[in-house]
Structure 1
Amino acid sequence: MSRFVETLVASAQRNSGENGRGLTTGVPGKPWFRTWGQVHDDARRIAGALELEPGTAVAILAADPGLIAPAVQAVWLGGGSVTMLHQPTPRTDLAHWAEDTLRVLKMIDARLVLLGPPFEELSGLLEENSIPYRDLAALASADAEPLAEPVEVAEDATALLQLTSGSTAIPKGVRITYGNLHANVLAMVEAAGLDAERDVAVSWLPLFHDMGMVGCLTVPMAIGMSAVKATPADFLTRPLLWPELISKYRGTVTAAPNFAYAIVGRRMARADDGDFDLSSLRFALNGAEPIDPAAVRTFTDAGARFGLSPTTVVCAFGMAEATLAVSFAELGRGLEVDVVDADALEQRRRAEPVSADAPRARQFALLGRPLPGLEVDVVDDGGRQLGERQVGRLRIRGAAVTPGYLTVDGPLSTQDSEGWLDTGDEGYLIDGQVVICGRRKDVIIMGGRNIYPVDIERAVCEVDGVRAGNAAAVRQEAGSRRERFAVVLESRFAGDAEAEKQLRKQVAARVVDAVGVRPSAIVVLAPGALPKTPSGKLQRAATASLVPAE
């Protein structure tokens, strides 16, 4: 069997007794705990019932982590590959979602779909398109003959097809091999100093997101670390559930995108003394989207009253193309930033350090050094390697890096002849630490300057009346001589013509002050109207479509 599956089996064997560590789901309403040994037993029964051919692509659409965990392991025990399908949200156009889901199933050549609550009604759609499916809840409760032994697979066989696009973009699957998973799991355990006997992971992240699937389910499952899993809907309905679960289960490890820390920080600031006890938390990873130092400080400042150490937050760089993690900031140091001159950054593509109170100073979080087995470098557009503090294209290579994508047009290689993968990010290195300025495709080029959307968005969110973390700067006429940008934001003033007018004036002035350029348009939306993925990440392409044409 693969080295990765060996770790799963060994974890299950170590945690097969009544005192074994395991997975708690069903929180907060009906907590359900099973040891990893029990999860493994369920997985063997499901694998026996499925009787997969090695290499079979299996898609899973379910909400309950308690059902998903053994199903995922069952596919791996059977030598197949898992694709977690994106789940619709209340704002999703179901017709478009169904169309995109069918496109994904065709792209990955899915031979089977496992349907779990609340998606059973989609069985009719699958039947109409001759796609085989099984009821996940029925499989989990069936008294099938367990799989005797894990199926032998090569290290380069596909274990996980991680979808990278939201519901409005053309789908693409990152091909994660069994070897990739093994390499990145071990690297994260080492870099985070994880101790299976003492650490407890608490997460609400969706399992169709790499941070949720790999970081907060696969890692605990592989090393036998206790884990508590809520659902994204639970968190979005009541964000303070997150610190409540950390308090109740004495969580030591957690992870989330930046927006979640901002939301919870603001709400904890209004909570009563004694509502939480966060003294157990030692590792709170912040990644998956641009890190706003102000949001991190909001979280750590509010959490201090509840025993949270300011050194708990670990800023990170990760991407599905690296299985999950590329770099972690050094443990025990908390948020560290590099303060640079905006003019030098935009005009000379160099990160020149300045004091925090200097005119047009910019702050970027330090994201640490690459994890074991990974390399990061920075090159210019011609592929020439750049020196320290020179801004260019970030590349990665190593054992955890995907060999390629699956697309609607077929397989696509990701690595060049030397094994390097272009991340699509712009950034620089300082003493080996990674700093990211922004996505190359989102950079706004005006008058020879490279303007990063995150700078505009942070400025917009400083205006009273703009919902914190709910503003987007989007390119218009990209690559043309008339390249411009628009701002789309959420506000409680939406619908009030006079209030919107005043808000637009304030936003325009604040943006000009921050980046020296006026937005071509400012669109004000009602709260909850910005297009986002179910995990809360902004969908820029869909947001750009909301800007009226001139």
Structure 2
Amino acid sequence: MSTLVQTWLASSPSTITGLHSGDDPAELRFRTWAQVRESARELAAGLAHAGVGKGDAVAILAGDPGDVADLVQAIWMRGASFTMLHQPTPRTDLQVWLDETREVITMLDAAAVVIGEPFVSALAGVGDLNLDATVVSVAELHGHDEVPLVDIDGGDTAILQLTSGSTGTPKAVEITFGNVEQNQRAMIDALDASGYDVAVSWLPLYHDMGMIGLMILPMLENVVAVVTTPLAFLRKPQSWAELITRFGGTATAAPNFAYSVLAKRLRRAPEGTYDLSSLRVIINGAEPIDENSLDLFLAEGARFGLRPQAMMPCYGMAETTLAVSFDSPSRRYTIDTIDTDAVESTGVVRRVEESTRTHVRLGRPVLGLELRIVDDSGAELPADHIGTILVRGAAVTKRYLKSEEGFVSAVDANGWLDTGDLGYVTTDGEVVVTGRKKDVIIVSGRNLSPTVIERAACSVDGVRPGNAAAISYRRLDGREGIAVVAESELADDKAQADRIHDEVARAVFDTVGVSVTAVTLIGKGELPKTPSGKIRRHSAAELVDAN
């Protein structure tokens, strides 16, 4: 039996702390965790009426974080697992989304699909959804007699987390209740969390950092959670700072790009507009971390009481339930400035005073997780040697669920998971991620990091920050080269586009010493990305214009 979730579901939750949630940050709804539990019991009865029982999979399509919190608890009360479906946006082709969603639901063999607002209304005119599962709205789950809790074990599936890979073929990470428990312990330890914390988030709940880090973790610990939606952040990025100020937020998290966006809003804000002094944990993860973005955010936030040591670069993934490594909440993060030529030619890290290549250290592996670096033959590498990152531990998934194959092993015979990431461990045990193995660009025997090239491209005025893709591109003479695809709101202005083209080419050459074969400018929002916002580099290759 799970010693955490089962015990938690049977306990009496807080009647004081709770969840502030909603799409409008100015009008969030507050319910204590006791009230959330009461609602969850009612929904669990509705799920039982719909035929959901132990071991079943339930898909959730709901935009209100409050509905999601209720459903997570209700589904676990039934001994079932949940999957957050990727959500359509106003720009989504609904037919394409439906086709992909049907494939996911078929892969899950879902017993039920629960739909909440705004999607009940949004899909009302679509016609027959033709989903191969019972479809029920959140409203329809109310009004049934309460049912007892279903026993759950540590090995039972708690979450089937959709991954954000570069292909359209669905895949889910199996996260057990035992995985959830170990990750919870590791995160509490790494963050030095307490019952007085206030977590503030706008992250999508179909992504592991938003769901597990800023919804489930506070929920299990009975601490205050303030959860709005990605749309709220996109409409008004400074609402994030407003919520931290209003609720005295102590912990928050986001990908690197979001801190760049917020920094620009902080720069324009008058003195005293916000109070960020309460923040003690600011997690930065889910995408490559840019030193310049961190410096800008901390510089602009300092006027509002932001402490630099609160910024915690981290490394995590769905396959480890969430956490892999965290920096310390009591010190400022560390930057490695390394010899570009040495690392590209030998894979060995040599630190120098100045370089075009820097990496942010991501702290030490969390409690209960082992990490090692191996070469292509599987031999373990010493400190400061770049290789493939492997992880092992009680929070690490053992299986993937794939569309055609069903459940397949995610780890080797000794329990090691190949993350697909490249990186190294410093002599004092800190983890540094240098990129994805499949994305490395090899030119004239040099291993070039696409992240370094993309940062150079994004330094050009007119290129949207965080919206450039660097990919390998074969030149007319047959040799390997570099192509850059970048978003710009000036893409249709020929004079400006020509300037940006030339400046991107120059910036990349100055950074890596290799000429760019092709620079392609596209409009805002046209760069292919996963539902969680990661760039699909291989899909971006199809947009390259060699002219």
Structure 1 length normalisation: TM-score? 0.94
| Aligned counterpart in structure 2 of residue 234 of structure 1, from 232, 256, 269 | 232
Q: CA deviation at 1:520?
A: 1.8
State the partner residue of 1:463.
460
For 1:238-288, what per-residue CA distance to the aligned partner results, in whole angstroms no more than 9, with x for missing partners?
111101100000000000000101110122111111110001011000000
1:495 and 2:497 correspond: no
Residues 216 and 79 of structure 1: is their aligned pair in 2 closer, same or farther, counting only changes over 3 Å? same
1:109 and 2:105 correspond: no
Q: CA deviation at 1:8?
A: 3.0
State the partner residue of 1:423.
419
For 1:510, give the aligned amino acid: A
Taking only the aligned residue pairs, the percentage that are identical comes to 48
State the partner residue of 2:332.
334
CA distance in 1, matches of 2:348, 2:468: 27
Residues 94 and 514 of structure 1: is their aligned pair in 2 closer, same or farther, counting only changes over 3 Å? same
| Aligned counterpart in structure 1 of residue 19 of structure 2, from 9, 23, 27 | 23
| Aligned counterpart in structure 2 of residue 277 of structure 1, from 275, 278, 282 | 275
| Aligned counterpart in structure 2 of residue 413 of structure 1, from 409, 413, 436 | 409
CA distance in 2, matches of 1:422, 1:125: 43
Residues 374 and 525 of structure 1: is their aligned pair in 2 closer, same or farther, counting only changes over 3 Å? same
For 1:514, give the aligned amino acid: T
Local SS of the residue matching 1:3: coil
For 1:397, give the aligned amino acid: R
CA distance in 2, matches of 1:549, 1:501: 14
CA contact (8 A) 2:528 2:536 kept: yes
| Aligned counterpart in structure 2 of residue 261 of structure 1, from 214, 234, 259 | 259
CA contact (8 A) 1:8 1:223 kept: no
CA distance in 1, matches of 2:342, 2:370: 27
CA distance in 1, matches of 2:132, 2:523: 41
Moved more, 206-215 or 24-33: 24-33
Once the two structures are superposed, the pairs formed by residues 110-509 of structure 1 within 5 Å of their partners are 110-120=110-120, 121-122=122-123, 127-139=129-141, 142-148=142-148, 150-165=149-164, 169-196=168-195, 198-355=196-353, 357=354, 360-409=355-404, 410-430=406-426, 431-476=428-473, 482-509=479-506
CA distance in 2, matches of 1:7, 1:301: 44
For 1:346-377, what per-residue CA distance to the aligned partner results, in whole angstroms no more than 9, with x for missing partners?
0000111111x3xx442101101111000110
Structure 2, unpaired ranges of 5+: none
1:9 and 2:1 correspond: no
Q: CA deviation at 1:116?
A: 0.7
Q: CA deviation at 1:168?
A: 5.9
CA contact (8 A) 2:46 2:140 kept: no
* Count of aligned pairs between the two proteins: 538
CA distance in 1, matches of 2:506, 2:310: 36
Structure 1, unpaired ranges of 5+: none
Residues 481 and 433 of structure 1: is their aligned pair in 2 closer, same or farther, counting only changes over 3 Å? farther
State the partner residue of 1:72.
72
CA distance in 2, matches of 1:80, 1:6: 12
Moved more, 448-457 or 329-338: 329-338
CA contact (8 A) 1:485 1:520 kept: yes
Q: CA deviation at 1:515?
A: 0.7
1:100 and 2:95 correspond: no
CA contact (8 A) 1:265 1:302 kept: yes
CA distance in 1, matches of 2:512, 2:200: 39
Q: CA deviation at 1:494?
A: 1.1
Residues 406 and 215 of structure 1: is their aligned pair in 2 closer, same or farther, counting only changes over 3 Å? same
CA contact (8 A) 1:378 1:391 kept: yes
CA contact (8 A) 2:6 2:152 kept: no
For 1:160, give the aligned amino acid: I
CA distance in 2, matches of 1:25, 1:434: 35
Local SS of the residue matching 1:211: helix
Q: CA deviation at 1:415?
A: 0.6
CA distance in 2, matches of 1:541, 1:315: 27
Structure 2 length normalisation: TM-score? 0.95
Q: CA deviation at 1:529?
A: 2.6
Local SS of the residue matching 1:466: coil
For 1:415-446, what per-residue CA distance to the aligned partner results, in whole angstroms no more than 9, with x for missing partners?
11111000000000012110010001111011
Local SS of the residue matching 2:312: strand
State the partner residue of 2:529.
532
For 1:136, give the aligned amino acid: V
